[in-house]
Chains A and B, each alone.
Chain A
Amino acid sequence: MAHVDRQQWDVVVVGAGGAGLRAAIEARERGARTAVICKSLFGKAHTVMAEGGIAASMANVNENDNWQVHFRDTMRGGKFLNQWRMAELHAREAPDRVWELETWGALFDRTADGRISQRNFGGHEYPRLAHVGDRTGLELIRTLQQKIVALQQEDFERTGDYESRLKVFQECTVTQVLKAHDRVAGAFCYARESGRFFVLEAPAVVLATGGIGKSFKVTSNSWEYTGDGHALALLVGASLVNMEFVQFHPTGMVWPPSVKGILVTESVRGDGGVLRNSEGKRFMFDYIPEVFKEKYAQTEEEGDRWYDDPDNNRRPPELLPRDEVARAINAEVKAGRGSPHGGVFLDVSTRMPAETIRRRLPSMYHQFKELADVDITAEAMEVGPTCHYVMGGVAVESETAAAVGVPGLFAAGEVAGGMHGSNRLGGNSLSDLLVFGRRAGAHAAEHAAVMDRRDEVPAEVIDAAAAEALAPFRAEDGAENPYALHQELQQTMNDLVGIIRREAEMAKALKRLAELRVRARRAGVEGHRQFNPGWHLALDLRNMLLVSECIALSALERTESRGGHTREDYPSMDRAWRPVNLVCRPVEPAPADPAAARIALVRQRTEPIRPDLLALFAKEELVKYLAEEELYE
């Protein structure tokens, strides 16, 4: 086997989105030599797509807000399945994480008294989202990117080398997390530009790779979202929780076909946009679920009053949590009351003056103008659900973000599971990235610091990783086209494990996934290793297939509907499932037959919610969520 370059670092962060960069900043500030590795160019990560804002209870707009209210909203949004300690830490620490961004140069929109302005969002009781127009994610990523550059400038002053203590390996991909002596020892990577392999040896690896949306056909996610971190974790012995919970954002573009799935920000509704069906009816009033009946307006008049007088009115049901809205849209379309291109109408044009729309929703205005020839100041948008976010992810310790069962492995951001329970509230992802990115960075640095003896990765481990990565070039006759395989996978997941799920379909999905696994073994590519997208996709297929298997398996197992998991055959929430997590673990040893299942599913009881946190809720509310036996405790 050819010689493979090795470099030694203290912490390796996989992914350069919000969580990865925040982790890297923290690790470097705590003295760890830190490498960040990302598939795209530095500053292009999927975080830039986040539009609405960062949820943090700074109480700048409504002084009644505090971390307890935020915690409550988060738990309700997640239908109480959240890893409660994570939700607590998140709600407590989010304001500090936002304020700290300002000291790094971020410029949020302001209130009249000069503080950070906060906007309304689905599921949040008070205006809570710090934002910059509708490009908050861009502001976040740019601020973190510029903070990294600032740290590199410091290092340059001190050492004469910008990259001596913090380096970004852009356009590089990790194909395996490497272990030695049963703990993390590094990562096996290739550079996309040259196709060359290299190994970053480090005692701590932080996974911050984001989500899995590219396994679905209609998605708001970018090509990077192939579930890399989920798969890397599984392959190194970690487990995934709650993988059945996939959030379908209610409002994605539905036309033209080439942009189907691209996100229409929730701020459209937060700022006054309403949903109507083809009969012109504001149908969301028909879809307020029992648990939320007291919290939402029952009439259009009350809902409209709320925008100006939120203290004396209840919010309109367009601002229900995302899972509810997505299901409602799905049902309207199914009932034949959809828009011409199979969505429903989202209208701001009749609700706000054109000038206000252009100022508050500039990128939405341009997105529709340029991609669909629709002027949102004059006509309604057509929208429908799009795969947006995975609540499930690597099982982690709440405090440290350490992956359960693999010393030296950490996970933060979308790749980590637990925080959002069965459904994430809008705005909670950016704050999640910052809160747990920082925690992961801090604990990875600490872990690296106490590991005085560094493990060298054995040569045969590296050779095996290289051989796996090169397999697509050795495909014989009858090689499969990776693009075709990918499309089939997306179609399978979309049709059979999509927004509304049925037992028979999911069983069929598992069978198809097994077939695809067999065929993916034969995925072949043309050309050479230098910037070859066919090869990159062939390698990503392994990850998408693994993750898809976890989703289908868990979704089949959970016989209830909750948050981002809706079963047609079990349409209501079942309190008995509340304290149950479904955990995916790799079958060990990995079966030689590619058709055999790679994932074993385990039911795990969740840790009881701390009494003082339970006390934040009214008894009547808890009765709706908690399982019988939990109520007695």
Chain B
Amino acid sequence: MSTYEARFKVWRGDGDGGGLKDFAVEVHDGEVVLDIIHRLQATQAPDLAVRWNCKAGKCGSCSAEINGRPRLLCMTRMSVFSREETVTVTPLRAFPVVRDLVTDVSFNYAKAREVPSFVPPKDLAAGEYRMQQIDVERSQEFRKCIECFLCQDTCHVVRDHEENKAAFAGPRFLMRVAELDMHPLDAAGEAGLDRKRAAQEEHGLGYCNITKCCTEVCPEGIRITDNALIPLKERAVDRKYDPLVWLGSKIRRRSEG
């Protein structure tokens, strides 16, 4: 078991201002950045604000930026840094700061409400749902999301452009639209709701320029861009930009009707 002293820079402050504060702190074998932040709390800065919960990468609370990269504090091992390196920890930079490492993530909860929920099929009672594993797997991948909002934080559409927040749901909630659109029993269509069209027209899918930063930061390894966003873009094309598909569905509807 070896111990060394690491140099840290931690952003401290609130909405009125603040800056990076220097700390020297002990590090033990096998520790993660969150352990170090806790040690700072217990020994040097008892009021250092940090959000955390499970400390096992399952709840997505301890999102922050470490050396400029959005990460979970609890899943970033100290062993990825050299002993000489200064580790810089700041709050998420796409959201308003509350205090120290804690940001106001209410943007995400507002966006969550804008996505219409699962629509249960009318003709099936609870217990009668039958779905094949291969049909639920795509949506299941997206439901691995722990809502750490790192993808929302790294996405330049809102990170670099506050004004886009109104029109853009962000990767997490576009992925939610994809999840519902791929759900084998979602009855949105029967209820007159077109999720593909809504993705483009209401949730700002067109803002995404598929630069894959969301996929890069996802701690769950969800392939947000390849499996959710691009398929959703293709589905929107089906609805809005592909005359062949449009014609085909018109003809089919007529022959069925």
Q: Do chains A and B touch in the complex (CB under 8 A)?
A: yes
Contact with A along B59-91 (1 / 0, CB 8 A): 111000000000000010100000000000000
Name the contact of B144 in the complex, choosing from A40, A138, A222 (C-beta under 8 A): A138
CB distance from A257 to the nearest CB of B (A): 6
Min CB distance B26 to A, Å, is 12
Contact A99:B126 (CB < 8 A) given known A40-B61, A138-B58:
yes
Instruction: Give A99 to B128 CA distance when docked, in angstroms.
Output: 8
Considering the complex, give the chain A residue whose CB is closest to the CB of B185. Answer: A102
A525 and B46 form a contact (CB under 8 A)? yes
A487 to B117, CA, bound (A): 44
Cβ distance B106 to chain A, nearest Cβ, rounded Å:
9
**What is the total of A-B residue contacts with beta carbons within 8 Å?**
174
B30 touches A222 (CB 8 A): no
Interface membership of A533, Cβ < 8 A: yes
In the assembled complex, the Cα of A533 lies from the Cα of B47 at a distance in Å of 6
Cβ-defined contact, A256 with B29, below 8 A: yes
Shortest B51–chain A CB gap in Å is 7
Chain A 114-151 interface mask (CB, 8 Å, partner B; 1/0): 11010000000000000011010111001000110110
Interface check B198, CB cutoff 8 A: no
Q: Could you say which of B30, B99, B104, B180 contacts A258, with CB atoms under 8 Å apart?
A: B30
CA separation between A531 and B13, bound complex, in Å?
Answer: 11
A146 / chain B contacts, CB cutoff of 8 Å: 117-118
Q: How far is the CA of A586 from the CA of B7 in the complex (A)?
A: 48
A49-B56 contact, Cβ under 8 Å, with A104-B118, A526-B46: yes
**Residue B42, interface by CB 8 Å:** yes
A307 within 8 A of B: no
Name A259's contact: one of B30, B58, B186 (CB within 8 Å).
B30
**Which residue of chain B has the shortest Cβ distance to A532 in the bound complex?**
B47
Q: A533 touches which one: B48, B147, B186 (CB < 8 A)?
A: B48
Q: Judging by beta carbons under 8 Å apart, are B49 and A262 in contact?
A: no
In the complex, which residues of chain A have a beta carbon less than 8 angstroms from the beta carbon of B54? Answer: 44, 46, 48-49, 222
CB contacts (< 8 Å) of B52 on chain A: these are 223
User: When the two chains form their complex, are residues B57 and A370 in contact, meaning their CB atoms are under 8 A apart?
Assistant: yes
Q: Does B98 contact A (CB under 8 A)?
A: yes
A363 & B130 in contact (Cβ 8 Å cutoff): no
For the complex, is A162 an interface residue (Cβ under 8 Å from B)? yes
* Residue among A46, A102, A139, A156 with max Cβ neighbours from chain B (10 Å): A102
The answer on a CB contact under 8 Å between A531 and B102 is yes
Decide if A95 touches B30 in the complex (CB within 8 Å).
Answer: no
Complex CA–CA separation, A44 to B133 (angstroms): 27
- For the complex, count residues of B whose C-beta is within 8 A of A: 60
Contacts of B143 in A (CB 8 A): 107, 132, 138-139, 142
Does A392 touch B at the CB level, under 8 Å? no
Checking A103, A149, A153, A370 against B75 with a beta-carbon cut-off of 8 angstroms, the contacting residue is A370
| B residues less than 8 Å from A371 (CB atoms) | 30, 32, 56-57, 75, 77
Q: Say if the beta carbon of A366 comes within 8 Å of chain B.
A: yes
In contact, B118 and A527 (Cβ under 8 angstroms):
no
Q: Choose, from B108-116, B158-166, B232-240, the stretch at the interface.
A: B108-116
Q: How far is the CA of A105 from the CA of B28 in the complex (A)?
A: 44
CA distance A487 to B124 in the complex (A): 53
- Asked if A257 meets B60 with Cβ closer than 8 Å, knowing A139-B143, A483-B42, A531-B100, the reply is no
Hey, what's the 0/1 contact readout for B14-47 against A, CB within 8 Å counting as 1?
A: 1000000000000011111001000001100011
What distance in Å separates the Cβ of B56 from its nearest Cβ neighbour in chain A? 5
Contact A43 B147 (CB under 8 A): yes
Mask of A93-114 contacts with B, CB within 8 angstroms, 1/0: 0011001101111010110011
Nearest A residue to B180, CB-CB = A105
* Chain A 508-542 per-residue mask, 1 if CB under 8 angstroms from chain B, else 0: 00000000000000000111101111110000000
Partner pick for A370 among B77, B100, B104, B183, CB 8 A cutoff: B77
* CA of A319 to CA of B31, assembled, Å: 32
A42 at the interface (CB under 8 A from B): yes
Chain A residues lying within 8 Å of B124, measured Cβ to Cβ, are 103
Residues in A neighbouring B146, C-beta threshold 8 A: 48, 138
Q: Are B113 and A527 in contact (CB under 8 A)?
A: no
Evaluate whether A527 and B46 lie within 8 angstroms (CB atoms) in the complex, with A49-B59, A105-B118 already known: yes
Chain A contacts for B208, CB-based, 8 A: none
Q: Is B132 an interface residue (CB 8 A)?
A: yes
Classify chain A's interface size.
35 or more
CB distance from B98 to the nearest CB of A (A): 5
Q: Do B183 and A113 touch (CB < 8 A)?
A: no
CB-defined interface of A261-277 with B at 8 Å, one 1/0 digit per residue?
01100000000000000
Report Cα–Cα, A167/B30, bound state, in Å.
41
Residue among A105, A142, A262, A528 having the largest count of chain B Cβ atoms under 10 Å: A105
| B41 lies within 8 A of A41 (CB) | no
> Is the C-beta of B210 less than 8 angstroms from some C-beta in chain A?
no
Residue A400, interface by CB 8 Å: no
Majority-rule SS of B interface residues: loop
Known A150-B118, A224-B53; judge A44-B46 contact (CB<8 A): no
Among B30, B56, B98, B113, contact of A367 (Cβ-Cβ < 8 Å):
B56
Contact B183 A105 (CB under 8 A): yes
What's the Cα separation between A114 and B134 when bound, in Å?
10
A533: chain B residues within 8 A (beta carbon) = 41, 46-50
Interface bits A223-244 vs B (CB < 8 Å: 1, else 0): 1100000000000000000000
Which residues of A sit under 8 angstroms from B126, Cβ to Cβ?
A: 96, 99-100, 102-103
* B104, B117, B186: the one within 8 Å of A153 (CB): B117
Contact with B along A201-231 (1 / 0, CB 8 A): 0000000000000000000001110000000
Check: B136 CB closer than 8 A to any chain A CB. Answer: yes
- Please give the distance in Å from A29's CB to the nearest CB on chain B: 14
Residue B120 at the chain A interface, CB threshold 8 Å: yes
Q: Cβ of B130 and Cβ of A113 under 8 Å apart?
A: yes
> Which A residue sits closest to B1, measured CB to CB?
A257
> Which residue of chain B is the closest to A163 with respect to CB atoms?
B113
- Chain B positions within 8 Å of A367 at CB level: 56-57
CB neighbours of A525 from chain B (8 A): 46-47
Chain A residues lying within 8 Å of B140, measured Cβ to Cβ, are: 107, 109, 132-133
Q: Complex: how many Å from CA A244 to CA B161?
A: 55
- From B130, which residue of chain A is reached at the shortest CB distance? A114
Report A-chain residues with C-beta under 8 Å of the C-beta of B109. 42
Distance between Cα atoms of A137 and B53 in the complex (Å): 15
- A365: shortest Cβ distance to chain B, in Å? 11
Q: How far is the CA of A620 from the CA of B131 in the complex (A)?
A: 43
A193 contacts the other chain (Cβ, under 8 Å)? yes
Residues of A within 8 A of B131 (CB): 107, 110, 114
A193-B98 in contact given A105-B117, A367-B57 (Cβ < 8 Å): yes
B215 within 8 A of A: no
Q: Is residue A431 contacting chain B, with contact meaning CB distance below 8 A?
A: no
Cα distance, A60 to B41, chains bound together (Å) = 50
B127 adjacent to chain A (CB < 8 Å): yes
Q: Cβ of B127 and Cβ of A99 under 8 Å apart?
A: yes
B200: interface (CB < 8 Å) = no
Question: How far, in angstroms, from A149 to B110 measured CA to CA in the complex?
Answer: 10
Q: How long is the Cα–Cα vector from A458 to B253 in the complex, in angstroms?
A: 66
Determine whether B213 belongs to the interface, using a CB cutoff of 8 Å to chain A: no
What are 27 residue pairs bridging A and B, where the CB atoms are less than 8 Å apart in the complex? A40-B51, A41-B51, A44-B147, A48-B58, A48-B146, A49-B54, A103-B126, A105-B117, A105-B186, A109-B140, A110-B131, A114-B132, A132-B143, A139-B143, A142-B145, A152-B113, A193-B104, A222-B54, A222-B59, A223-B53, A256-B31, A258-B32, A259-B30, A367-B57, A371-B77, A483-B42, A484-B42
Q: A109-B133, A259-B56 are in contact. List 8 more A-B contacts (CB 8 A).
A: A40-B53, A41-B105, A95-B127, A113-B130, A142-B145, A150-B117, A255-B30, A370-B57
State the 9 A-B residue pairs at the shortest beta-carbon distance, nearest first. Answer: A256-B30, A105-B118, A527-B47, A114-B130, A150-B117, A534-B46, A99-B126, A99-B127, A483-B42
What residues of chain A have their CB less than 8 Å away from a CB belonging to chain B?
40-44, 46, 48-49, 58, 95-96, 99-100, 102-105, 107, 109-110, 113-115, 117, 132-133, 135, 137-139, 142, 146-147, 149-150, 152-153, 156, 162, 193, 222-224, 255-259, 262-263, 363, 366-367, 370-372, 481-484, 487, 525-528, 530-535
